[in-house]
Amino acid sequence: MKKLTKLFNTSAFKIVDLFNVYKEYMNNVKKSFSIRDLENLSGIKAHTIRIWEKRYGLLSPERTSTNIRTYSLESLQKLLNITLLYNNGYKISKIAKLQETDIPIVVREIVAKSSTKNHAINAFKLSMINFDLSLFQNTYNSLLTEKSFREIFWEYFIPLLNELGLLWQTDTISPAHEHFITNLIKQKIYTSTEKLQLMEPTNRDKVFVLFLPENEIHEIGLLFINYEILLHGYKTIYLGQTMPLENLVDLESYYTNIHYVSYFTVVPNKDRLGKYIDDFKEIINKSNSKLWILGRQIQHINKEKLPPHIRTFDSVEQLSKAL
């Protein structure tokens, strides 16, 4: 408990106090949020937020000239804390009776006694919204006192990344927000991966070559797969983004029993998937190499028609279990 108390005394978890911290950043901060933004960030339906607002006066939105509700950063922070209380069994009527200054205190008490997960994910969200590197680093480093990088990635980064698509799709965040947070996460993968690369491989029966197809730039999933494979003691060769298939031939003269791993998020598109796989079969026709594929585009692949040396995986976790 003493360690947890220390953890939540750090600035990473003083989410309810962020408004004061952010005053110096206000030129870069998103200052106004729609009710849909609040819904997407908190997980509470807009209809419910309106009821809480009208019946209990929990939030006080401003109105635009066209009578549209807008909410301040302070309102967002308050709602995130109300959501934490609500998800921990507090009735909304009881929350409404709390003094404004008491809500952060109750939140800290709950967090100190239970999981830090929702609180930390909210801290990462706020660091993204406000382009706040310090908040991200403090949150990550605080988690690192209790958990490994791998645990943090599975328990915190993956749920956060799963939300990014929706947040971007609904205009809650901009591409700049997405790039900011994903690049910070990639930095953590690079740092953790480098530590593993200093160790000699313990499994030498195969080599993994990781690459993304041409014009595919969504790299974060492949980076973590590279980390997972290294963690299992295999040698990896990471080629990265937008790799032409014909260049893979160069690897065949250096290694035998290569397992190529690729992540199809956007490309090849549905119409070109068949040709891409046929082209790959031509390249590895005379070798024992295999191709493992993940990503959204695999939904368009007829898995029953794939040759034995080409395999698809529905998730990173499924691939990890196959190592």
Residues 158, 227: contact at Cβ < 8 Å? no
At residue 26, the pLDDT reads 33
Please report which confidence band the pLDDT of residue 216 belongs to, taking 50, 70 and 90 as the band edges: confident
At residue 113, the pLDDT reads 58
Q: Residue 260 belongs to what H/E stretch?
A: strand 258-263
Residues 8, 108: contact at Cβ < 8 Å? yes
The model scores a pTM over 0.75? no
Instruction: Please list, in sequence order, all residues whose beta carbon lies within 8 angstroms of the beta carbon of residue 91, skipping any fewer than 6 positions away.
Output: none
At residue 296, the pLDDT reads 85
- Segment 271-275 mean pLDDT: 88
State the average pLDDT for the chain. Answer: 82
At residue 16, the pLDDT reads 32
Taking the domains of the chain in order of start, what are their residue ranges? 2-191, 200-322
Instruction: Please list, in sequence order, all residues whose beta carbon lies within 8 angstroms of the beta carbon of residue 39, skipping any fewer than 6 positions away.
Output: 45, 46, 49
**CA 222 to mean position of chain CA atoms:** 13
**What CATH class does 2-191 carry?**
mainly alpha
Q: Looking at the predicted structure, is the pLDDT value of residue 116 above 60?
A: no
Neighbours of 52 (CB within 10 A): 19
Residue spans of alpha helices (H) in 17-148: 18-21, 35-42, 46-51, 73-87, 92-97, 102-113, 117-129, 133-144
> Which is more confidently placed, 228 or 10?
228
Q: Looking at the predicted structure, is the pLDDT value of residue 223 above 50?
A: yes
Please report which confidence band the pLDDT of residue 188 belongs to, taking 50, 70 and 90 as the band edges: very high
Neighbours of 278 (CB within 10 A): 9
Q: Looking at the predicted structure, is the pLDDT value of residue 286 above 80?
A: no
Nearest 5°: the CA angle 129, 168, 211 is 105
At residue 83, the pLDDT reads 87
Measured between alpha carbons, how far is 51 from 39 in angstroms, rounded to an integer?
13
Q: Which tens digit of pLDDT belongs to each residue from 191-209?
A: 999 999 999 999 888 999 9
Angstrom CA distances, 281 to 47, 246, 257, 290, 316, stand at 53, 11, 15, 9, 23
Q: Which tens digit of pLDDT belongs to each residue from 12-49?
A: 333 333 333 333 333 344 668 888 888 877 888 999 99
Dihedrals phi, psi of 261, to nearest 5 degrees: -125, 130
Q: Which CATH number fits domain 200-322: 3.30.460.80, 3.40.50.720, 3.40.50.280, 3.40.50.920?
A: 3.40.50.280
